[in-house]
Amino acid sequence: MNHAPDFDSRVAAALANPTLKVAIERTTGTARTKRAAAMAAWPEFPAARALGRDIKDHVIENLAHYLVAFEKNADAAGTKVHWARTGEEACQIVVDICRKAGAKSVTRAKSMLGEEIGLPHALEAAGLERVETDLAEHIIQLAGDPPSHIVWPALHKTREQVAELFRAHHRDPGAMATVEAMVASARRQLREKFMAADVGISGANFLVADTGAVCTVTNEGNAELTTTPPRIHIVTAGIEKLVPSTAHAMAMLRLLVRSATGAELTQYTTFHNGPKRAQDRDGPDEFHIVLVDAGRTRMLNEGLAEMLRCIRCGACLNHCVVYRQIGGHAYGATYPGPMGSVLTPMLDGLEQAQDLPRACTLNGQCQEVCPVAIPLPTLLRGWREKSWQRGFEPARVRWALALWRFTAMRPRLYEFAGNIGLRIMPLFAHGGWISRMPLAGGWTAHRDMPSPSGGTFLAQYRRRFKK
């Protein structure tokens, strides 16, 4: 794993990792191909996308209304709703529920919010046995890694590395020759834990305001095994997960699943609503939902309301040229890729995360694929502006830019300075190309620079067409 304190070192480590690029490309490459095929077969995508955007915007504009409605309807179904202003508060609420129930072992279905608020750590710190039931989460739990992708948390591990991990940690690993054999080994390892857990904790893909239900989607069915057998089911969810009704949740699901994996639906789509009723065969005795703010209402006031539309599909990561080279861990945060570079300065502070909005070519492909049309490049530019205003850019960059701006406002000086540069550059050239030049190391370390010749366009134009 990649624990270097600064972004540049984490990037260097990622780029030097011989298997990382292969692992990233296997998963994101498949995701891109499948998504493209799904979109090609779905001419209504632009309309569905506009609808998805409008649904989320509507909820965000009327957040208080829908939160109150959700609480009322969840309460009517027998659910206990808790409110957490911060991640710590949310963890404390979860730990308190576990303690009160005398719980020893907790199963957890993958939830990025859980990662964001540090829930895995909080559970362990409270002395609870934590069992990750999502296969990928199980892998990174064994490896001791944080997730490197919001949909495939173990994307940075190759099949071969996973087989090695299972061989080292599983009771009865078997041959591990095929993916099926590996899954079977994980199943043997995890099944009995599923059934023996006291508390199951899951996240939410959608919170349905008019029924009080929580919708989760998985492909492994682990969410259902996490939330049904234990006595207590706890959901932690960000308040932006609200949708007005089940019909709205379905509209969002179509966008989410196609954007994430290219499939029309996930294998399991479950609406959890309240604890076990008298006539039910199974289900938890207690059902808790912890609604977490943790910066979300602050985002509304900081020009980041559009980011609250995000449904965590991962498409922006899969299509990001930077993510595809450096992987998730180099970002040094819970959420990587374009959406992470917008969220992290909010969650961890801009000064600490200042590199993330800058380490982007602003090519716009993330916005193009985003199923809820979040203008990610514009939001990243917004952070760059704040970063500039607060003076986080290194002094040498500020000076260079100030000098450049001063000359760009004065055409004669601009031309004069340009001409000096154009006279100097050919001194470093060999056969038309410059492969090393002082002050140009950022460029010439990796690529050559064509040597200019014959003066500027403006000067040549004057010579040709004017006196």
Partner 1 sequence: MPKCAGLEQNVTLEIRPAENSLPHVALFATCLVNAMRPAVGFAALALLEQAGCRVDVPQGQTCCGQPALNSGDAEGTRQIARRNIEMLEPFDHVVVPSGSCAATIRLHYPELLAHDPAWAARARNLAARTHELLSYLADIRGWLPEGISLEASATYHDSCSGLRELGLKAQPRKLLAAVNDLTLRKLEGEETCCGFGGTFCVKYPAISNAIVDEKAVAVEASGAALLLGGDLGCLLNMAGKLHRRGAAVRAFHAAEILAGMGDAPAIGETP
> Residue 350 corresponds to which tokens in the numbers above?
């801009």
- 165 burial (CB, 10 Å; 0-12 / 13-18 / 19+) is buried
CA 53 – CA 6 distance, rounded (Å): 35
CA 354 – CA 374 distance, rounded (Å): 20
CA 340 – CA 329 distance, rounded (Å): 11
DSSP state letter for 428: G
From the list ligand SF4, partner 1, none, partner contacted by residue 414 (C-beta under 5 to 8 A by kind) = partner 1
CB atoms within 10 A of CB 163: 20
Looking at the Cβ atoms of 290 and 310, the one nearer to ligand SF4 is: 310
Where in 273-332 is the site for partner 1 (CB under 8 A)? 321-322, 325-326
Looking at the Cβ atoms of 226 and 367, the one nearer to ligand SF4 is: 367
Looking at the Cβ atoms of 219 and 365, the one nearer to partner 1 is: 365
From the list ligand SF4, partner 1, none, partner contacted by residue 1 (C-beta under 5 to 8 A by kind) = none
The distance of closest approach from Cβ of residue 371 to ligand SF4 in the complex, given in angstroms and rounded to an integer, is 6
Is there a contact between 107 and 131 (Cβ–Cβ < 8 Å)?
yes
The distance of closest approach from Cβ of residue 385 to partner 1 in the complex, given in angstroms and rounded to an integer, is 4
From the list ligand SF4, partner 1, none, partner contacted by residue 11 (C-beta under 5 to 8 A by kind) = partner 1
Applying CB under 8 A, among 365, 375, 428, 437 the residue interacting with partner 1 is: 365
From the list ligand SF4, partner 1, none, partner contacted by residue 372 (C-beta under 5 to 8 A by kind) = ligand SF4
The distance of closest approach from Cβ of residue 310 to ligand SF4 in the complex, given in angstroms and rounded to an integer, is 3
The distance of closest approach from Cβ of residue 72 to partner 1 in the complex, given in angstroms and rounded to an integer, is 41
Our separate counts of H helices and E strands in the chain read 24, 13
Measured on CA atoms in the order 224, 225, 230, 233, is the torsion positive or negative? Answer: negative
CA 20 – CA 389 distance, rounded (Å): 36
> Residue 192 corresponds to which tokens in the numbers above?
């009995």
The distance of closest approach from Cβ of residue 228 to ligand SF4 in the complex, given in angstroms and rounded to an integer, is 28
DSSP letters along 11-34, please?
HHHHHH-TTHHHHHHHHHHHHHHH
From the list ligand SF4, partner 1, none, partner contacted by residue 349 (C-beta under 5 to 8 A by kind) = none
What are the residues binding partner 1 (CB under 8 A)?
A: 8, 11-12, 15, 321-322, 325-326, 358-365, 367-368, 381, 383-389, 393, 397, 401-402, 404-405, 407-409, 411, 414, 418, 421-422, 431-433, 435, 441-443, 445-458, 460-462
